[in-house]
Structure formats: C-alpha cells, structure tokens
A and B are shown apart, each in its own frame.
Chain A
Amino acid sequence: MRFRDIRLDDLLRNKASFLGLVIIGILAFTAIAADFIAPYDPNKIELDEKLKPPSSEHIFGTDQLGRDQLSRVIHGTQTTFKLSLIIVTITASFGVFIGITAGYFGGFIDEILMRLIDVLLAFPSIILALVIIGSLGPGILNTVIAISLVGWLYYARVARASTLSIKEKEYIEGARAMGCSEMYICTHYILPNCLPPIIVLVTLNMGGVILTIASLGFLGLGAQPPTPEWGTMLNEGREFLRDCPWLSVVPGALIMISVLAFNFIGDGLRDILDPRQQVIK
C-alpha cells in the first residue's frame, strides 16, 4: 500500500473515522478561530460573577475567578492543538530521520541508536516525561521538551522497520544503478514509501500526546495558570467539584472527545492500510 493509495473517500466510508474527522474538523476550526468565536476574554476576571452555573449568558458557567468557562475552553482547544501539533511535528520528523538513517545505513550507528531506544523504552512513558520535568521544572516549554524527548522513539522504530524492508526492494537497486546518491534515495524513495504507517502512528499518537499534555497540566507540572489549558482547568475546577461540577465536566469531556476522535481516525486508517486486520475486525 502506497501513500497515494490512502484515499479520503475510503476513510469517509468508515462511520467511526468519518465522525472522527468531523470532530477534529470542528475542534481545529475552534482552535484557529478561537479569538473570534470566544464570547469573552478568557482571562478577564469578574469576581461578582464567580462560580455561576451554566446560563444563557455563560453557556458553561463561570469559574472561581468569574472567567467565562466557554471562552476558556475554546482557548484551551487552541493551547492543546497548538502544543500537540508542535510536539507531533518535532517527534515525527526527528524519529523518521533517525529511523531511516539507522535502517538504511545499518551497522554501528544502527546498533547504538537501537540500544538507546531500548533503554528509553524501558521507562513507562509518563515517568520519563516526569524525570525531564523534574530536572527542568514545570511549564509549557518544558512540557513540549519532555513529551518530544520521549515521543520520537516509536516513530524511529516504525521508520527503521519499514526502511529495512524497503531497502531490499528492486527499485532501490534500480535507483542506485542509475547513480542516485544515498541522500537522494533516502529522501525520494525510502521516505515516501515508509510514510503510510507513520501517518497511522501520527493520528494515534495525537490522542496520546493530548492526554499527556492534559495529565501534566492536571498535575500542575504543565501549562501554568492562568493559561487556559484543559488539564490545568480540570485541576483548578476539582476544588469546586461538589458545588460546581461543570468546571470539571466540560474540560474533561473535551479531552476525551478529541482523544476519541483521533483514535477513530487512526483505527480507520489502519484498516485501510492493513487489509488483513480488516478481516479480523
């Protein structure tokens, strides 16, 4: 299965993936247009209005400082999507680069890189992120660093595995016979051919990254208040859970919906790319 064989209509035919795409579309639009859709300023404090239940004025109520929950959630979408896109871009490109290098050239470099990956994978992933936050301190930038340092491992493994099988193909031999440089072969033959599994991994990984960002925010180690971020909001709202459950329900529901949507798309893509799995399903 090649990259150009992933057709959008195959994906749209799968009901779950279609739903996933629609949800991500809506959330992505919300993230991009956050400044225009949000009815209020997400950081505007109005103590007279604090902890108001949902009403026509404030659809999701207001928080402990009287900030409009809907506006905060909308800007939270922006924070989360921006961070996860940055992280996935960094990790996927770095991981694929390392994976192709290791797989194509093999030998000593391959051995060293793969052992390094083995060691890093020996940690439960959130624990490794916590070590990094532990040494760098809490904050948004450190969240990105921590998750990225852990995240590239899987991409490197998948890219390496694909490269190992692709480099034995006849067209690579053909390219070499034509006098293509190693660099050209890697970027023009290996890279496009190892993309399909990487794309599946990207969609499935987006969900995981969103969850990790939210977890770190929830633990008070990620985005710091007053930044609107779902996990951080959930943590702030937890104190008022008994009387103001909407403060905890809304951000949590959004985390779940976005993770669910990415999982739906990822599952759909995997079915298209791996027909054997489809039979099993």
Chain B
Amino acid sequence: MLEIILKRIGMFILVVIASTALVFFMLHSLPGESAEVMAKYIFLGNVELTPSNEAIDIIKEKYDLEKPLFSQYVTWVWNAIHGNMGTSYQTNSPVTEEILIRLPATITLAFVSILLSLLIGIPAGIIAAVKQNSFTDYFCSTISVLGISIPSFWLAILLIYVFSYTLGLTPTMGYGDFKSLILPAVSLGTPASAVIARLMRSSMLEVMRQDYIRTAIGKGLSYRMVILRHALKNTFIPVITIIGLEFGHLLGGTVIIETIFAWPGIGRLLITSITARDIPVIQGCIVFITITYLVINFITDISYSYLDPRIGRSKH
C-alpha cells in the first residue's frame, strides 16, 4: 500500500510540474503582446490607448520579459512556491491575495453543489436500479438524460426567471446569505447529479448480477439487507471515481455559474482576467484550479485502491 501511495505521489508531482509548465509556456508564448498589454494598464490605465515603445521597453525590463522563457518559468515556480504568484496588471495587488479572497466563495459553492448532486444522484440511481424497468426507473432515467444534456447556464437562466423574477423567492445574484446560494448550487449540481444517478444505476445493476449477491439472497437475507449491506458497498467503487471527475467538471462549471450570478469566486476572476488579458491572474487561477483538481483525483485514486485492494495489486 505504501509503495502504491509513494508511486502515485511521484506521478502527481510530475504532472503538477508538467501542467504548470504547459500553462506558463502557453500564456507567455506571445511576449510582445503581453508587455504591450501591461504597459497599457500600468502607464496609461486604459486598454484603448497605444503605449509608446519606451513604455513597453521599461515593462520588459521590469518584469524580466527579455529573458528566455525557461528562466522566467523557473523564477515563477520559485516565487510561487514561496507564495508569490506575481501581481495583477489590473489591480496591482498580489495574485495570491486575489485568489485567497475569493476562495471561500468558490469552495462553498462547489461543496454545496457536489453535496446536492450526491443527495439526489445516489438515491435516484439506487431506486432506478432496484426497480429496474418500472415506471420509476424510466422516470429517473429520462430525467437524468435531460439533466446531462441541459447546459448549466441555461438552467441557471430558467431558474432565475422562475424563482427570482416570477415568484420573487430568491435573489438574482450576489453572495452572502443562504438564499443566494440556492440557485447557483442547483444549476451546478443538477447536471452532476444526473451523471452520478446514471452511473449509480448501471453500477448497481452490474453488482446485482454477481454471484455473491445471489448467495446472499440464497442464504435468506432480506432484499433490503442485501442491497444495503452487500450491493451498495461494491457499487460505490466506480461511483467514487466519477465523483472525483465530476468535481473537476464542477470546478470548470463554476466559471460560468459564478459569472451569471455575480458570485465573487475564482471562476469569475478567471473570466474577467481573460477578458482583460491579465496574464498573471489567469495563470494563478488556472494553476490553482488544476492543482485542486489533481489533488482531488489523487485522493480519489488512493481511496479507490484502499476500498478495492484488487485494483492496487493488479497494477504491479
């Protein structure tokens, strides 16, 4: 077990290095333009004006943009490890600070959404599988296909129209109280719950056909007992992986949902920075989201091989 974990940690570190390098080189492959954008913000405070060549040169000098990309990357990594991810072109405040301020909002939203999707998805999947081919099953399956296909931003708009404008129950945007959390969480959680319900159902049906379930029923256990004690535990194994993946989707989804609801999180910061071409902030946000995603997948992987020892062994 320890060996597996060490191996995974090694792989994890490699992927982190490779992915940050990728983001860095992609965003900095246009150095001239980047210096120009910076000069616009720093000297002119306005993107519409064109900065002079002197201004661009000063910026290049100041931010070491003349150096080769690789040494820029090494400097950036060194600083990032020490908690310094550069300063925003727009606000001139440290990127780390910009991200940390917005962290609680995104964490709250992501956490509540995934919780919601599990609370809906898992029971719906179990019920659909247990009552296979019944009306309930068809109903759940139809709803979940719809749930997978509905764009979260459209769902959000429909929810705003119905619950905020027509019924006046929830605020259309903002952050703070519980009420303002409901619509964003539902818009994000619904598609995820549909994916989880579908997987839960097929995984449960697969488990129900196994010999040990037949044995459990054969030795006289009640159906309910078989489902709860024997089937559920084995059903969860593939579901846990998908929860990890769904969390990644959710992090991506927060970008859109936060924009719609003016939710002051990292996703919205990312979009406003992309529009303003504020490279240090874009880089910070993406690296942050990617590392979070990698950590979650790492934890999923480990718990996976813990829950099902067969998986860890087969890889050796």
**A-to-B contact residues, CB < 8 Å:** 16, 115, 118-120, 122-127, 130-135, 137-138, 207, 211, 214-215, 218-221, 234, 238, 241-242, 245, 248-249, 252-253, 255-256, 259-260, 263-264, 267, 277, 280-281
Known A123-B290, A124-B289, A135-B27: A221·B256 in contact at CB below 8 Å: no
CB-defined contacts of B23 to chain A, threshold 8 Å: 131
Residues of A within 8 A of B270 (CB): 130
Specify which of A125, A211, A221 lies most central, judged by the most chain B CB atoms within 10 Å of its CB: A211
Nearest CB of chain A from residue B25's CB, rounded to whole Å: 9
- In the bound complex, how far is the Cα of B146 from the Cα of A55, in angstroms? 29
Contact with A along B282-302 (1 / 0, CB 8 A): 100010011001100100000
A267: B residues at CB distance < 8 A:
145
Asked if B74 lies at the interface with its beta carbon under 8 angstroms from chain A, I say no
Are B252 and A259 within 8 A (Cβ)?
no
B151 touching A130 by the CB < 8 A rule? Answer: no
Q: Which of B149, B160, B260, B271 contacts A260 (CB 8 A)?
A: B149
Interface residues of B in 104-118 (CB under 8 A from A): none
Interface status of B9 (Cβ within 8 A of chain A): no
**Contact for B27 among A134, A259, A277, CB less than 8 A:** A134
Instruction: Check A126/B255 contact, CB under 8 A, given A134-B27, A134-B282.
Output: yes
- The answer for the CA separation of A267 and B153 in the assembled complex, in Å, is 24
In the bound complex, do residue A219 and residue B22 qualify as a contact, i.e. CB atoms below 8 Å apart? no
Q: Mark B128-165, 1 if CB is under 8 A from A, else 0.
A: 00000000000000000110111101100110110001
Once the chains bind, are B286 and A220 in contact (CB under 8 Å)?
A: no
A238 adjacent to B157 (CB under 8 Å) = yes
Shortest B148–chain A CB gap in Å is 6
Task: Flag if A248 contacts B150 (CB, 8 Å).
Answer: no
**Docked CA distance A138–B272 (Å):** 12
Q: Which of B248-284 contact A (CB under 8 A)?
A: 248-249, 251-253, 255-256, 259-260, 270-271, 273-275, 277, 279, 282
- Tell me the bound Cα distance from A101 to B186 in angstroms: 44
Give B residues with C-beta under 8 Å from A: 15, 18-19, 22-23, 26-27, 29-30, 145-146, 148-151, 153-154, 157-158, 160-161, 165, 202, 205-206, 248-249, 251-253, 255-256, 259-260, 270-271, 273-275, 277, 279, 282, 286, 289-290, 293-294, 297
What are 30 A-B contacts with C-beta separation under 8 Å?
A119-B19, A122-B294, A123-B19, A124-B248, A124-B252, A124-B293, A126-B255, A127-B252, A127-B289, A131-B282, A137-B277, A207-B149, A215-B256, A218-B151, A219-B255, A219-B256, A219-B271, A221-B271, A234-B157, A242-B161, A248-B157, A248-B158, A248-B161, A249-B158, A256-B149, A256-B151, A263-B148, A264-B145, A277-B202, A280-B205
With a cutoff of 8 Å between Cβ atoms, the chain B residues found around residue A133 in the complex are 274
Q: Contacts of B205 on A, CB cut-off 8 Å?
A: 280
Chain A residues whose CB sits within 8 angstroms of the CB of B154 once the complex forms: 234, 248, 252-253, 255-256
Q: Quick one: which of A134, A207, A211 has the most chain B CB within 10 A? A: A134
Q: Are A130 and B286 in contact (CB under 8 A)?
A: yes
**From B22, B149, B153, B252, contact of A263 by CB (8 A):** B149
Q: Chain A nearest CB: distance from B142 CB in Å?
A: 9
Please give the distance in Å from A231's CB to the nearest CB on chain B: 8
Distance in angstroms between the alpha carbons of A219 and B22 in the assembled complex: 24
B157 near A221: Cβ-Cβ < 8 Å: no
Q: If the complex has contacts A215-B151, A219-B259, A263-B145, are A119 and B274 also in contact, measured as CB distance less than 8 A?
A: no
| Apart from A256-B151, A280-B205: 9 A-B pairs, beta carbons within 8 A | A122-B297, A123-B286, A124-B251, A127-B286, A130-B255, A131-B282, A245-B161, A263-B148, A277-B202
A277 and B209 alpha carbons, distance in the complex (Å): 13
CA–CA, A134 to B205, complex, Å? Answer: 44
Residues of B within 8 A of A138 (CB): 274-275
CB pair A260–B15 under 8 Å, yes or no, is: no
CB distance from A198 to the nearest CB of B (A): 21
- A120 (CB) vs chain B CBs: closest residue: B22
Contacts of B279 in A (CB 8 A): 134
- Pick the residue among B26, B206, B248 that contacts A131 (CB under 8 A): B26
A215 B160 Cβ-Cβ under 8 A: no
> Which 6 pairs from chain A and chain B are nearest by CB?
A252-B154, A126-B252, A260-B149, A124-B252, A124-B248, A259-B149
Min CB–CB distance A64 → chain B (angstroms)? 16
B274 cross-chain contacts in A, Cβ below 8 A? 130, 133-134, 138, 221
Chain B residues with Cβ below 8 Å from A215 are 151, 153, 256
By beta carbon, the residue of chain A nearest B250 is A124
On whether the beta carbons of B165 and A127 are closer than 8 Å, the reply is no
What residues on B are CB-neighbors of A248 within 8 Å? 154, 157-158, 161
| A241 and B290 form a contact (CB under 8 A) | no
Asked whether A211 and B151 contact (CB < 8 A) given A119-B15, A241-B165, A280-B206, the answer is yes
Which one of A127, A220, A263, A281 contacts B251 once the chains associate, using CB atoms below 8 Å?
A: A127
CA distance A233 to B274 in the complex (A): 20
